[in-house]
Amino acid sequence: MSSGNNIESEYLSLSSKNGWELLYQQIRTESAKYSNTCLEAIKPQNKTLNRYRDVSPFDHSRIILQRGSTDYINANLIKIENANRQYILTQGPLPNTIAHFWLMVWEQNTKAVLMLNKLVEKQQEKCCQYWPIKIGTDYIMKLDDVGLTLEYLEQQDHSYYLTRVLRLTDVKSGESRDILQFHYTTWPDFGVPNSPTAFLEFLRKVQAAGVLESTVGPAIVHCSAGIGRSGTFCLVDSCLILIEKFGLNSVIVKEVLLEMRRYRMGLIQTPEQLKFSYQAIIEGAKQLSKTSFDSENCNSVISEIIEANNVSENSNHSSDEDEPPPLPPPRLDSLNRTLYDGPPVNRPLPTIPNSASISDFNYEDIDSIEELQSPPSGPLPVLPGEDEESSTDELEDESVRTSSPVSDKSDTVNGHHESLSPQAELRQRKRIERKEHLAERVRDMKRRQMANEQWTQLKRPKTARRD
């Protein structure tokens, strides 16, 4: 892709002109023209079910509950058709809406809840605890209003976010479902994460769980009001899916956000959240490009080595100057990096997203030749059925090999048996060694290509101060 892609160029332009506030106000003005009503939210019986008076669900996209004492919940279904994504954005549950929340999870066949806030922020309750206080059957939460029970099964701590497994059971049918909860604990109210890197690592974990796919019910995303942090998450995820499907130049972030605001009001609450969304999208797109670049170049280098091998086999004579240096295999950085499962590096948030992205964001001009011609920085992991090979043997100096003793050889010229000259014998010996060397390169590259392909298959199998 060219360096003048829309998102990066727009980001740099907005940052140089301090234009984030202006862009944010433009989005607010345009979305205010939508003729959507919120009549259900303002009904007297529903007012106490809203956390904030000025954050209401649009009538046309609100989630309608099918059983229980009310059909109302402050939640909307957001659809991004081109990305084949659907999300339910909702407020942090209130004490009197916990049962409604879990009924929505059950009826929508949701597989995961994404919680992007803490229970208490700035000494104010932003969300009540809507899951049992402890793990175990002694602490099962009974939701008699809607005929459900909830059991807390397990929790894992991932430094800056938590994952929980909760078992939701329908009392009448006896059917149970395990629900994943991803709880991002370090995203400040009205703020942004410390770095796009940590946020994208969280997003990748959610995506890898398969809970955002169209084959399951829509994931439920909430913060406090369900518009700021929740909107940021959904915007970045949707844009990265669109970039992967249609290319970077096809995505206009502003248009995607305006489309999302047709389903729920006020998504993304501050210019800082909007700016961070651009940073995360640019960084995420670079990571997508790097993965694709590694795979494509693995195939390209194999073709070049095979072609060089064929040329060598068809050549009867060659001089020292004609000897082409063999290409070493590509680094496959993304494979090594993906296999590392430690905590992400939490870099400070830059003024522009140049932490490993902006400076070399040009997809067509990546310095692939220099990358491919340098030896790998470390050995690749050994896959089943593959033996570890010595990099010293693989890169053995040509002059050492050609200096080893060679059996006597002779040629027949014009019917006379003559010994080869030392120069001719050296060239012949080099041709044989070059063919063997290139053949070994081809075998090695095929093994590395297979490793990359196997890993690729595995990897894919608001006005008021609130949220």
155 is in an annotated binding site: no
- Structure confidence at residue 19 (pLDDT): 95
Same domain, 264 and 294: no
179 is in an annotated binding site: no
- Quote the domain boundaries for residue 158: 34-269
321 vs 198, higher pLDDT: 198
Same domain, 182 and 244: yes
- Structure confidence at residue 5 (pLDDT): 56
- Average pLDDT, stretch 64-74? 95
Asked if the model's pLDDT at residue 95 lies above 80, the reply is yes
Give the number of other Cβ atoms within 10 Å of residue 446's Cβ.
Answer: 14
Q: Look at 37-46, 108-117, 332-341 and tell me which has the smallest mean pLDDT.
A: 332-341
Q: How far is CA 226 from the centre of its chain?
A: 22
436 vs 149, higher pLDDT: 149
Task: Determine the angle formed by the axes of helices 20-31 and 271-313, rounding to 10 degrees.
Answer: 110
- Structure confidence at residue 348 (pLDDT): 53
223 is in an annotated binding site: yes
Same domain, 206 and 297: no
pLDDT digits (tens, 9 = 90+) for 343-395: 555 555 445 444 444 444 443 443 443 444 444 444 444 444 433 333 334 33
Task: Determine the angle formed by the axes of helices 422-459 and 271-313, rounding to 10 degrees.
Answer: 140
> In the structure, what pLDDT confidence band is assigned to residue 310 with cuts at 50, 70 and 90?
low
Whether 379 contacts 388, CB under 8 Å: yes
Highest mean pLDDT among 50-54, 185-189, 341-345, 453-457: 50-54
- Structure confidence at residue 435 (pLDDT): 84
- Average pLDDT, stretch 64-69? 94
- Average pLDDT, stretch 290-317? 51
Same domain, 184 and 316: no
Same domain, 263 and 320: no
Identify the domain boundary among 269, 300, 317: 269
Asked if the model's pLDDT at residue 49 lies above 70, the reply is yes
Same domain, 371 and 433: yes
Instruction: For the chain, state the CA radius of gyration.
Output: 30
Identify the domain boundary among 269, 304, 339: 269
- The answer to whether residue 232 is domain-embedded is yes
Same domain, 322 and 361: yes
Asked if the model's pLDDT at residue 169 lies above 50, the reply is yes
Closest CA to 284 of 195, 163, 157: 195
- Structure confidence at residue 448 (pLDDT): 78
- The answer to whether residue 14 is domain-embedded is no
- The answer to whether residue 11 is domain-embedded is no
Residue 454 CA to residue 83 CA, distance in Å, equals: 26
Give the number of other Cβ atoms within 10 Å of residue 194's Cβ.
Answer: 16
Phi, psi of 90, deg, nearest 5? -145, 165
Residue 417: helix, strand or coil by DSSP? strand
- The answer to whether residue 126 is domain-embedded is yes
Residue 78: helix, strand or coil by DSSP? strand
- For the annotated catalytic residues, the residue numbers are 223
CA angle (125, 131, 135) in 5-degree steps? 125
> In the structure, what pLDDT confidence band is assigned to residue 72 with cuts at 50, 70 and 90?
very high
Same domain, 381 and 251: no
- The answer to whether residue 312 is domain-embedded is yes
Q: How does the average pLDDT of the chain come out, rounded? A: 79
> In the structure, what pLDDT confidence band is assigned to residue 248 with cuts at 50, 70 and 90?
confident
- The answer to whether residue 4 is domain-embedded is no
Identify the domain boundary among 205, 239, 269: 269
378 is in an annotated binding site: no
> In the structure, what pLDDT confidence band is assigned to residue 307 with cuts at 50, 70 and 90?
low
Residue 27: helix, strand or coil by DSSP? helix
- Structure confidence at residue 443 (pLDDT): 83
Same domain, 214 and 186: yes
The DSSP element (H or E) to which 89 belongs, if any, is strand 85-90
- How far, CA to CA in Å, does 383 sit from each of 54, 295, 407? 56, 17, 39
- The answer to whether residue 434 is domain-embedded is yes
Same domain, 77 and 173: yes
- Structure confidence at residue 428 (pLDDT): 82
- Structure confidence at residue 81 (pLDDT): 94
pLDDT digits (tens, 9 = 90+) for 424-448: 778 888 888 888 888 888 888 888 7
Token pair 């999300």: residue: 87
48 vs 358, higher pLDDT: 48
- Structure confidence at residue 257 (pLDDT): 98
114 vs 299, higher pLDDT: 114
Q: How far apart are the first and last CA of the chain?
A: 36
Asked if the model's pLDDT at residue 263 lies above 70, the reply is yes
- Structure confidence at residue 437 (pLDDT): 83
- Average pLDDT, stretch 215-239? 97
Residue 405 CA to residue 97 CA, distance in Å, equals: 86
State the total domains in the chain: 2
> In the structure, what pLDDT confidence band is assigned to residue 327 with cuts at 50, 70 and 90?
low
227 is in an annotated binding site: yes
Highest mean pLDDT among 63-67, 292-296, 306-310: 63-67
Whether 54 contacts 462, CB under 8 Å: yes
Asked if the model's pLDDT at residue 338 lies above 70, the reply is no
Whether 288 contacts 208, CB under 8 Å: no
292 vs 215, higher pLDDT: 215
Q: How many residues can be counted in the chain?
A: 467
Q: How far is CA 191 from the centre of its chain?
A: 22
Asked if the model's pLDDT at residue 57 lies above 90, the reply is yes
Asked if the model's pLDDT at residue 256 lies above 60, the reply is yes
- The answer to whether residue 435 is domain-embedded is yes
- Structure confidence at residue 466 (pLDDT): 57
Same domain, 247 and 298: no
Residue 416: helix, strand or coil by DSSP? strand
Q: What is the CATH number of the domain that holds 116?
A: 3.90.190.10
Same domain, 245 and 359: no
Q: 153-184 as b/e, with b when 16 or more CB fall inside 10 Å? A: eeeeebebbebbebbbbeeeeeeeeebbbbbb
